[in-house]
């Protein structure tokens, strides 16, 4: 089985970075592809219990692919659910762009 921690860090990095650079006004094709990317995780993610819980999470909270700000927030909240499940600290979702797009202020 994969290293669940390293796989998780790599996957969150990919997902948050992709959300951070998702267009503010995505085309229908971009929306459809983002939705497929997110919905493929419960089917394909190689940590099966992670995949199952994430599937339940996105059933209860439908992905908001309407634009980058909404998507980044939605993903931050899903990640916080996992953080909570694992006893990790919640992340301040006001800081997603600082963490994943802009870098720290000078």
| Size of residue set near ligand FAD by CB under 6 A | 22
Residue number of the CB closest to ligand FAD reads 8
In the complex, the smallest distance separating the C-beta of residue 27 from ligand FAD, rounded to whole angstroms, is 25
Q: Which is nearer to ligand FAD, 7 or 26 (CB)?
A: 7
- The distance between the two most distant Cα atoms of the chain, rounded to a whole number of Å, is 42
Q: Which is nearer to ligand FAD, 27 or 60 (CB)?
A: 60
Q: Is residue 91 within 8 Å of 80, Cβ to Cβ?
A: yes
Q: How many angstroms separate the CA atoms of 79 and 69, rounded?
A: 15
Q: How many angstroms separate the CA atoms of 54 and 21, rounded?
A: 22
Q: Is residue 75 within 8 Å of 15, Cβ to Cβ?
A: yes
Cα 58 vs. chain centroid, distance in angstroms?
10
Q: Which is nearer to ligand FAD, 29 or 52 (CB)?
A: 52
Residues that bind ligand FAD (CB under 6 A): 4-5, 8-9, 11-12, 16, 41, 49-50, 53-54, 76, 79-80, 82-83, 86, 88, 91, 96, 99
């Amino acid at each position: 089985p994969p290293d669940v921690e390293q796989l998780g860090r790599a996957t969150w990095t990919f997902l948050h970075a992709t959300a951070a650079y998702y267009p503010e006004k995505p085309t229908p094709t971009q929306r459809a592809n983002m939705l497929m990317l997110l919905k493929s995780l419960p089917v394909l993610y190689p940590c099966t219990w992670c995949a199952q819980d994430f599937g339940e999470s996105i059933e209860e909270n439908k992905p908001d692919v309407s634009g980058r700000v909404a998507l980044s927030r939605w993903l931050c909240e899903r990640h916080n659910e996992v953080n909570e499940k694992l006893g990790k600290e919640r992340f301040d979702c006001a800081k997603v762009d600082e963490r994943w797009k802009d870098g720290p202020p000078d």
